[in-house]
Chain A
Amino acid sequence: MIESFLMTGVLGVVILRTQGRLKPPPREACVVAWGLTLLVALTAAIGVWDLINPKLVGQTYLLDVYSALHQWTWIAAFLMTNLSFALVRSARRFHMVVGGALLALALLTTLLHAAGVRFIDYSQFYSFRGYYRPHGILLTPLEAGLGGLLGWAWGLAWGVQQGGRRIAGLLLTGLSTAVVYLTFSRSAWVGQGTALLVGFLFARSRKALWVPLLVTLATFLLCSVGLPLGWQRGVYAAQGDASVQNRLVLWQQFPALLIRYPFGIREESAHTIEEYMAAGSMVNFYLDMGGQYGVLPLVLLLWLVSMLLRRVWHWGQHGMLAGTWGLGVIASVVCLIFMNPSWDSLAVALLGGFWGMVSAMEVKPDAPPRLHPD
């Protein structure tokens, strides 16, 4: 119950901050933003190290530290970038450079993994009919697909600008789309497809968006011709794919679990081991929040997400650059219906950081520019 109230409180703070009802003085914001940065960096570093050398991390107390911290990573990353992009110039630069570099590294290693170059002695292989689904330095192809979506949004936002950024942005758009395709992550495909459709609507008021959107389509088409197996995996979803069936069974159990455990399922409160195991493995970010922390955090999370989506829609309709960045939010929000990246601290830090950055962008279309996240 304590965890449920703590999560409710922190989500409440995030919502108030996103609504602009918390206006901290820059100095205090600076201290909190850098403190959260340290926290996120520590958790992500342990997470990546655990992937590279699980034996060593498992033998030390680092795993306990990670277990205590990792559940807060995405919210900490959200608040961190929200504060830094709105108020703390030094932290903003740091987050842009480090976040961008990590995202680029994740994309690059996934592409190299697809080409057969391994960086990590992966303990688990994800394959479909003989094709090894790549994930680079991220935990699974699902997280790699999510990383691809964030990279794609970054590419779009640069692609609508001028000069060198435009070329780099278009290149990034293509590469990220290729990553999304190559992971065969259907959640990422659905996310990107949805965001693409919304993007075409936004392009009516921002003409420059047409080119990166067409690059996305062309890349996806090229990948489909080169590796048509991906579509067979898509079709397999409707042909009794066990991972899909497993999700459906768990989702059907969710309402009963939520009624039985309105404050979330913890190890000590669970009646059976199956119920405890179900709490963190619904393969749905939102339902997992409900399962682990109860009704209130679930409602607040959905509120936060709907608030972000409303804003992105508003920006997009008015042809603002923030709307282009927001396509990444739309894609990831849809993608998270079919996955939960919580076990991968790097992916979750990138996701939370990205949402936090977008949430700090300007709300009013006619207001003078306050910040330039790009």
Chain B
Amino acid sequence: MQPLKRCLLILVYILFTGRLGLSEDSFLLQTVVQALQKRESFFAHCSITWDAQIEVIDYPLENPESFLRALEQWDRQRLDAEITSEAKEEFLQKAQQTHRCRYQTTITVMRSESITSIRFEEGRSCENGYIKTVPIYILCDDKQGYSVIYGTGIHAGSDGEPQIWVFSHSSPVPLNGASGTQFIYPTDWAFLANFSILNVAGLNKKNAWRIIKQTHSEVILEAELDGGAVYSNPRRFRVGLSKQHGYAPSWMEEYSPAKIAANNKVYYQSFPTIKIKVLAWRKVGRFWMPQSWERVKQLGKEMRKAIRISHMERRIINLHFLNFEKNKIKKDFPVRTTVLDFRLCGTDIPYGNVSEVAEERVVSYRWDGDLPSLDRLEQMARQQALAQRKPPTLAFQWMLRLVQWGIPLLLIAVGLYWWWRTRRS
């Protein structure tokens, strides 16, 4: 009986894991996955408030004259406006200076079951510029695979009514209404909301992560993403998991490609585009989370001997408040708010590329308190397409009605005739 029981257990194990044995690395990876999953579940019902100090630096243009020439060439193609010589001079002057902008914002994360919301508030002062105060509200349901973004100014123009945009994945979203470059990326969620970093950004696929190094204090994992839902280009992620802190991520680096060869081989930049580092920890129950962390984003070019950074954004984010009361995530956006639903456009559209999607796949409706299912959305898209088309002529409508009713009427008539004939015979 005992061997039979053992065989059965092995069979069940193979059936559910799809493998016969585990190597040392696979075993460690399994441990990490389980630890991070437990940590994610522990923080499943909480609200976290972060204070974020943000500094954006735009460095002087490397070659402002050539940029100006390109601008002039583009300007010549426009008939309605031209760049004045004063404007050119001002531009050249500004392009040779470093521009700094500092502001602070409060980020509130609320987690309830699978839905997580993030709310940004109070964008404030900025040197040499102006940051508009725009509340943005994001809902994300990773299990159902959608994200909802709500706010004014981002989509509808600064004076327009707020809109709700719905995506079929966790799309990167702007941190404030005026920002063209400052986004919250899915990897940020791992620090803001204590999600398992192994699941974000579509990196939960089997064998996506591999262990590249292990020391007494940390495990370093690496994964590559070949573009797709969130990123238009391939990305390489490296993450350091602190053993002392229950495998919580202590740093993360995201690398952008420097070059993609003809054979699709990707050569990555030597410096990370995004680097996140935990500066201080806080223990909550059995689990650790960041008390303070730094996030640096750099855009630049790799020269032969040096790296030229053109844009840098640094965020210092401090934990302000953590509350474990079970709170229900608010989805109560104002009823009848305009919704633009992009879920039928697939998972390949990043936030910034919505203008490129086929118009007929974007479904527009009014918010009535909940999201329609995908099947229902498909029906709404069909109805929208029918409504937007030129209506058929009256004669054609009559012909259609004739076909719609004529076919069943004919079948019924034939059936009755056959029935009468059968009974008579």
Contacts and interface: CB of A to CB of B under 8 A. Distances in A.
Interface of A: 2, 6-7, 9-10, 12-13, 16-17, 21-25, 28, 32, 39, 54-55, 58-59, 61, 63-65, 67-69, 72, 75-76, 79, 122-125, 127, 129-130, 221, 224-228, 231, 240, 242-243, 246, 274, 277, 280-281, 283, 343
Given A58-B389, A228-B16, A125 B346 contact: yes
Given A64-B392, A123-B344, A125-B346, A6 B15 contact: no
A21 B17 contact: no
A228 B19 CA distance: 10
B419 A16 contact: yes
Interchain residue pairs A-B with the least CB separation, the first 4: A13-B415, A9-B412, A130-B205, A6-B408
Overall SS of chain B's interface: helix
A125 B419 contact: no
Given A22-B418, A68-B401, A130-B205, 11 more contacts: A16-B419, A21-B419, A21-B422, A24-B421, A72-B408, A124-B346, A124-B378, A225-B15, A231-B15, A277-B372, A280-B379
A225 B14 contact: yes
A55 B419 contact: no
A61 B389 CA distance: 10
Interface in B39-83: none
Nearest to A226: B18
B23 interface: no
Interface in B404-423: 404-405, 407-409, 411-412, 414-416, 418-419, 421-422
A63 B386 contact: yes
Contacts of B17: 228
Nearest to B141: A242
Overall SS of chain A's interface: helix
Interface in B296-351: 344-347
Interface in B147-180: 168
B379 A281 contact: yes
A70 B379 CA distance: 14
Contact of B407 (A12, A16, A54, A69): A69
B360 A54 contact: yes
Contacts of A16: 415, 419
Contacts of A280: 379
B376 interface: yes
A362 B368 CA distance: 54
27 contacts: A9-B415, A10-B415, A13-B415, A16-B415, A23-B422, A24-B418, A28-B418, A39-B407, A55-B358, A55-B360, A58-B389, A59-B389, A64-B396, A64-B400, A65-B400, A67-B386, A68-B403, A69-B407, A75-B411, A122-B346, A124-B378, A125-B346, A225-B14, A228-B17, A228-B18, A277-B372, A277-B380
Contact of B403 (A54, A65, A124, A225): A65
B206 interface: yes
B208 to A, nearest CB: 8
Nearest to A29: B418
Nearest to A68: B404
A10 B408 contact: yes
A130 B204 contact: yes
B132 interface: no
Contacts of A72: 407-408
Given A10-B408, A65-B403, A130-B202, A277 B376 contact: yes
B88 to A, nearest CB: 44
B379 A277 contact: yes
A94 B12 CA distance: 47
Contacts of A28: 414, 418
Nearest to B146: A242
A123 B345 contact: yes
Nearest to B415: A13
A182 to B, nearest CB: 14
Nearest to B113: A240
Nearest to A71: B404
Contacts of B405: 2, 6
Given A6-B408, A246-B373, A22 B403 contact: no
Contacts of A67: 386
A201 B416 CA distance: 39
Contact of B408 (A7, A55, A58, A61): A7
| Most chain A CB inside 10 Å of its own CB: which residue of B17, B18, B168, B401 | B18
A128 to B, nearest CB: 9
Interface in B371-401: 372-376, 378-380, 385-386, 389, 392, 396, 400-401
B119 interface: no
A105 to B, nearest CB: 23
Contacts of B421: 23-25
Nearest to A9: B412
Contacts of B380: 277
Nearest to B373: A246
Nearest to A69: B403
Nearest to A142: B375
A17 B414 CA distance: 11
B260 to A, nearest CB: 20
Contacts of A58: 360, 385, 389
Contacts of A79: 411
A207 to B, nearest CB: 28
A125 to B, nearest CB: 6
Contact of B400 (A54, A68, A224, A274): A68
A2 B402 CA distance: 13
B244 interface: no
B144 interface: yes
Interface string B203-232: 011100000000000000000000000000
Contacts of B361: 123
Contacts of A281: 373, 375-376, 379
Contacts of A123: 344-346, 358, 361
Nearest to B380: A277
A10 B413 CA distance: 9
| Most chain A CB inside 10 Å of its own CB: which residue of B14, B144, B372, B408 | B408
A227 B18 contact: yes
B374 A124 contact: yes
B355 to A, nearest CB: 17
Contacts of B411: 9-10, 13, 75, 79
| Most chain B CB inside 10 Å of its own CB: which residue of A22, A55, A130, A226 | A22
Nearest to A60: B389
A225 B386 CA distance: 46
A35 to B, nearest CB: 9
Nearest to B423: A21
Contacts of A23: 418, 421-422, 425
Nearest to B377: A124
Nearest to A124: B344
| Most chain A CB inside 10 Å of its own CB: which residue of B344, B375, B379, B380 | B375
Nearest to B18: A228
| Most chain B CB inside 10 Å of its own CB: which residue of A7, A79, A130, A226 | A130
A249 B263 CA distance: 51
Contacts of B18: 225-228
B375 A22 contact: no
